[in-house]
């Protein structure tokens, strides 16, 4: 099965809103073995939408459109869909009644009397919106499957993974491609390539690298003919990258870390300076984190480090806040204060000001402590203030990941950091 994605909205063409929907839909389809042959972004215009649908119907078996289903005058997707299909828009009294109960009062009482949301092209069926108001629309044209989804990313993605997936399961799809996503951390894409390049099959398997400040997602795909080559390559990647691979699913790193802490019945506390609570915030992205994360403290000033973590004033005066010695003291201080099994402490120069030749912007010390030992690494990150902080958070979690896997002391780091 082949698919085309059409994203609708003047704001997308103007660059005022990031087009995240295309990326999410494309990845969703690839994971189902569906080939995306084209992506088109168009303005909020009946003519433009009809023209795009006419072109797409000859290229793809499935067309997914996002945007233009809302309450404003530029939301014309329903009208365009009906015109493309050569049918009328018909009002659905049951949907109108349902929507009358869901439309927020802030939209205006008169809005509840309007029929825009309850009008659907003849032959279409509704797609439930569980996190918003406006429903989506599905149409089976025989040769083409059409999905019209909201443009709001959270609404679109929820409808995609619930409603669209539910419908696709009813159709027998000849899976054209197979894919595996390796979520990695603590290693740049060039190092990933060097570690796996000798294993890459000469033909049949494609690689795509998706780097971010959190890590690199490596997506490996192969057509059905080369399924065995993909399975063999998967095992070789896992062996070559080892603990740099934290997941082959959609789980985030903090999810995996949280599961390990919970499974091992270990608790973690954190003391942050340059990251300003970003590490704690990342940890509590996971529901139930309170079972393993009882305490996090931001000690941004020297005074706070002294009063909250018992960091020695003389230590700060001699070595400065951004130092191995102070990071160690912060880790010990929060460990004693919280009585947890592990602690993480971060102190650095996030920039863009505050750097010196001896301690440049991007310098961060990360300490991990337990009852018996303390491990400190020195990092020199590159990027904006926020990028430095994000990299520091992921590096701290990576140290903890290795500790939970009993390999921290022996692991050969590939991120340019140094043990100090």
327, 367 contact by CB (below 8 A): yes
Same domain? 312 vs 388:
yes
Is residue 107 scored above 80 in pLDDT?
A: no
pLDDT of residue 110: 53
Is residue 150 scored above 50 in pLDDT?
A: yes
Residues β-bridged to residue 181:
219
- pLDDT tier at 179 (50, 70, 90 boundaries)? confident
Is residue 121 scored above 90 in pLDDT?
A: yes
The single-letter DSSP state of residue 44 is S
Q: Which residue has the higher pLDDT, 416 or 30?
A: 416
Q: What tokens were used for 13?
A: 């063409």
Handedness of CA 73, 77, 83, 89 (dihedral sign): negative
Same domain? 231 vs 272:
no
Same domain? 351 vs 300:
yes
Answer with the one of 168, 189, 224 that is the final residue of a domain. 168
Handedness of CA 108, 109, 115, 119 (dihedral sign): positive
In the chain, the percentage of residues whose pLDDT exceeds 70 is 96
* Least confident segment among 73-77, 182-186, 217-221, 355-359: 73-77
Give 112-178 as a 3 state SS string: HHCCCCCEEECCCEEECCCCCCCCEEEEECCCCEEEEECCCHHHHHHHHHHHHHHHHCCCCCCCCEE
- pLDDT tier at 379 (50, 70, 90 boundaries)? very high
Q: What tokens were used for 91?
A: 């009002």
Is residue 98 scored above 90 in pLDDT?
A: no
Number of domains observed in the structure of the chain: 3
What span, in angstroms and rounded, lies between the C-alpha atoms of 259 and 264?
8
Same domain? 315 vs 355:
yes
Q: What tokens were used for 338?
A: 């919280």
Q: Which residues of 198-237 are buried (b: 16+ CB within 10 A; e: fewer)?
A: eeeeeeebbeeeeeeebbbbbbbbbbeebeebbeebbeeb
For 271, the 3-state DSSP assignment is strand
Is residue 218 scored above 60 in pLDDT?
A: yes
Tokens 């700060």 correspond to what residue?
316
- pLDDT tier at 105 (50, 70, 90 boundaries)? low
Contacts of 327 (CB under 8 A, 6+ apart): 345, 346, 347, 365, 366, 367, 376
Is residue 343 scored above 90 in pLDDT?
A: yes
* Least confident segment among 41-55, 116-130, 286-300: 116-130
Q: Tell me, what CATH number does 196's domain have?
A: 3.30.70.2860
Is residue 160 scored above 50 in pLDDT?
A: yes
pLDDT of residue 171: 81
Cis ω on the peptide bond leading into residue 215 (within 30° of 0)?
Answer: no
Answer with the one of 149, 168, 187 that is the final residue of a domain. 168
pLDDT of residue 112: 47
Answer with the one of 205, 224, 247 that is the final residue of a domain. 247
Same domain? 135 vs 191:
no
Is residue 175 scored above 90 in pLDDT?
A: no
Quick count: other Cβ atoms within 10 Å of Cβ 174?
Answer: 7
Same domain? 193 vs 301:
no
- pLDDT tier at 169 (50, 70, 90 boundaries)? confident
pLDDT of residue 133: 85
Report the candidate in 291, 294, 297 with the shortest Cα–Cα distance to residue 277: 297
pLDDT of residue 117: 75
Tokens 């001699």 correspond to what residue?
318
pLDDT of residue 104: 67
- pLDDT tier at 37 (50, 70, 90 boundaries)? very high
Same domain? 161 vs 184:
no
Contacts of 300 (CB under 8 A, 6+ apart): 273, 276
Same domain? 36 vs 55:
yes
Same domain? 144 vs 200:
no
Is residue 6 scored above 50 in pLDDT?
A: yes
Q: What mean pLDDT do residues 203-221 have?
A: 91
Q: Domain residues for 55?
A: 2-168
Q: What mean pLDDT do residues 366-392 have?
A: 97
Mean pLDDT, the chain, as a whole number? 93
Same domain? 157 vs 42:
yes
Same domain? 368 vs 412:
yes
Q: Tell me, what CATH number does 32's domain have?
A: 3.40.980.10
Same domain? 272 vs 340:
yes
129, 66 contact by CB (below 8 A): no
């Amino acid at each position: 099965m082949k698919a085309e994605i059409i994203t609708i909205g003047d704001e997308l063409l103007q660059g005022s809103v990031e087009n995240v929907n295309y990326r999410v839909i494309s990845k969703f389809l690839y994971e189902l073995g569906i080939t995306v042959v084209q992506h088109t972004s168009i303005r909020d215009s009946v003519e433009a939408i009809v023209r795009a649908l006419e072109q797409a119907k000859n290229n793809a078996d499935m067309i997914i459109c996002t945007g233009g289903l809302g309450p404003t005058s530029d939301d014309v997707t329903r009208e365009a869909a009906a015109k493309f299909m050569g049918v009328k828009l018909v009002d659905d009294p049951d949907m109108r009644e349902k929507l009358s109960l869901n439309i927020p009062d802030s939209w205006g009482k008169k809005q509840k009397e309007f029929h825009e949301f309850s009008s659907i092209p003849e032959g279409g069926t509704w797609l439930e919106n569980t996190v918003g108001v406006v429903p989506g629309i599905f149409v089976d044209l025989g040769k083409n499957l059409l999905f019209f989804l909201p443009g709001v990313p959270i609404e679109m993605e929820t409808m995609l993974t619930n409603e669209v997936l539910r419908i696709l399961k009813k159709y027998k799809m000849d899976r054209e491609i197979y894919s595996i996503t390796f979520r990695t951390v603590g290693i740049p894409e060039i190092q990933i390539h060097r570690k796996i390049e000798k294993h890459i099959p000469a033909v049949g398997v494609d690689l795509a690298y998706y780097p971010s400040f959190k890590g690199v997602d490596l997506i490996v795909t192969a057509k059905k003919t080369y399924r065995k080559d993909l399975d063999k390559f998967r095992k070789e990647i896992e062996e070559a990258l080892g603990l740099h691979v934290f997941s082959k699913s959609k789980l985030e790193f903090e999810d995996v870390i949280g599961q390990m802490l919970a499974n091992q019945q270990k608790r973690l506390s954190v003391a942050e300076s340059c990251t300003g609570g970003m590490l704690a915030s990342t940890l509590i992205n996971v529901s139930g984190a309170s079972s393993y994360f009882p305490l996090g403290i931001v000690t941004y000033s020297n005074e706070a480090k002294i009063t909250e973590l018992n960091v020695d004033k003389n230590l700060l005066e001699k070595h400065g806040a951004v130092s191995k010695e102070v990071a160690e003291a912060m880790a010990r201080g929060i460990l004693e204060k919280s009585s947890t099994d592990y602690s993480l402490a971060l102190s650095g120069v996030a920039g863009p000001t505050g750097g010196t030749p001896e301690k440049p912007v991007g310098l961060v010390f990360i300490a991990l402590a337990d009852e018996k030992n303390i491990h400190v690494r020195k990092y020199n990150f590159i990027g904006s203030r926020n990028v430095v902080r994000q990299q520091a958070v992921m590096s701290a979690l990576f140290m903890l990941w290795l500790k939970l896997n009993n390999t921290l002391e022996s692991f050969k780091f590939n991120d340019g950091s140094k043990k100090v």
